[in-house]
A and B are shown apart, each in its own frame.
Chain A
């Protein structure tokens, strides 16, 4: 199992895919923090919720993290490397497990970069503008710990999604459509179930103040539930389907 994990980490390090994702993530977070930090008037930024929006910009890393996992499995199907991979390790569940763990690690690393950027730059902006921090310490700790936890889970969940869908284009489009459109609509239009979507559950993990959001622990558990469901479905399907 250690062998498979080392192999998967090597695969992730040896293409530009994850570097590209990292660059994209950093650019998006910086842009969000700068816009949220400099556009509102000083008194607007004194509110708790607006400060949360500023300092939690790192949570958009979740989508990039999910793409790590999706790419880790779908690029093997796309380029045919899944064949040599399974010839070396015919225990396919081991391969999926290794990809899940490698993605958890890579996702957590992305989350650390993301939360470092949003908390660091966000707090710097507040300091420059002489605005006192309105968020209580506990909230900041949830952000700091919850963001990498959330991105780790999303990356691993991406492996499950990719294993179910297999086709790279469909998996990426499906992921983005869900996270950016459908999930947003659900949370906006039907808040009663909005707290239970994958994005809603993630919001709980970073102590999002929106009122539909579950308690942090409940949200975290729910998110792990999604992870287990996707990974189990992916692992079962990959084990059963012929590799042609």
Chain B
């Protein structure tokens, strides 16, 4: 609730005040992004197939899936670049194209290379800032528009630490600089939602850490981030929630912590008194399966707890192996099996 309140109280942004009127948040958090039975067919390929999810304000959500899973197509449908074959994609409760000054509410980085190489980074941002306009307030005189745009451009260049390179042609930028320029463009309108498509692709470790810190700070202000990746580990330290898709269909949607807990509980125990240990574990509320004569698979219990229980029962342990799979294992497991 606090995140919503934060958003609603920002008096500077007229559009968000309007949102409050349209979407009272009495019944809980207003969804920032909603996909309802979203589908897209390209020729005979189902790029996205009946995808339904929503994002709450103030969260960083990882949008995950292998290459070709339909992530990019979904993000483009959210931004009205790709027309859905069926279903709806809503941002702040409306179609993107129906938003008032959409780029003042939503920022997007879709490709690392969406720049004219012969244009300076500053001019790239300047054209976008002019197109974004300055809303209802302020004068309409040409120079006033130019001045307002210049101010915003300099502010975002500072924010992504690109001020000194602003007047250079983008063709001379490193990949990391281009990524930051793309982010600067997304931030021109001071949006409450950021949509990033594979932003960490090609970034060096320093760049990845910079991006992670930036996104955490962005979300800490009550704003929302949807970031796609085909590598779970890349975003694991950044995201609160994950949406995993595969072959265009939803595989799972859950808080990251739950995803980890759900899959890492298994511990394999070998002990001569396995059946007795099992009884003890079950009386403590853990689930244990007898695998072999002296082997148990225990779920939901940390290894330390199992050791304690065994010690109290006087059962010597021959082996205690945590079967916990790495994040990447979980991801692979989820995305290689057919989604149900």
Contact = CB atoms under 8 A, between A and B. Distances in A.
A3 B127 contact: no
Interface stretch (A74-82, A190-198, A199-207): A74-82
B103 interface: yes
Given A6-B145, A7-B127, A85-B131, A16 B118 contact: yes
A88 B103 contact: yes
Interface residues of B, number: 38
A98 to B, nearest CB: 8
A91 B81 CA distance: 11
A243 B126 CA distance: 22
B146 A6 contact: yes
Interface in A1-52: 2-4, 6-8, 10-11, 14-17
Contacts of B189: 88
A242 interface: yes
Interface in B68-86: 73, 76, 79-83
Nearest to B122: A14
Nearest to B112: A80
A244 B97 CA distance: 17
A86 B132 CA distance: 11
Interface string A89-121: 111000000000000000000000000000000
A87 interface: yes
Contacts of A243: 76, 81-82
Contacts of A86: 79-81
B128 interface: yes
B131 A15 contact: no
Contact of B115 (A3, A81, A90): A81
B276 interface: no
Contact of B116 (A75, A83, A87, A91): A75
9 contacts: A4-B131, A6-B146, A7-B128, A7-B130, A15-B119, A75-B116, A84-B108, A84-B128, A88-B102
Given A80-B111, A85-B128, A243-B81, 6 more contacts: A3-B131, A6-B146, A17-B118, A83-B81, A84-B110, A86-B79
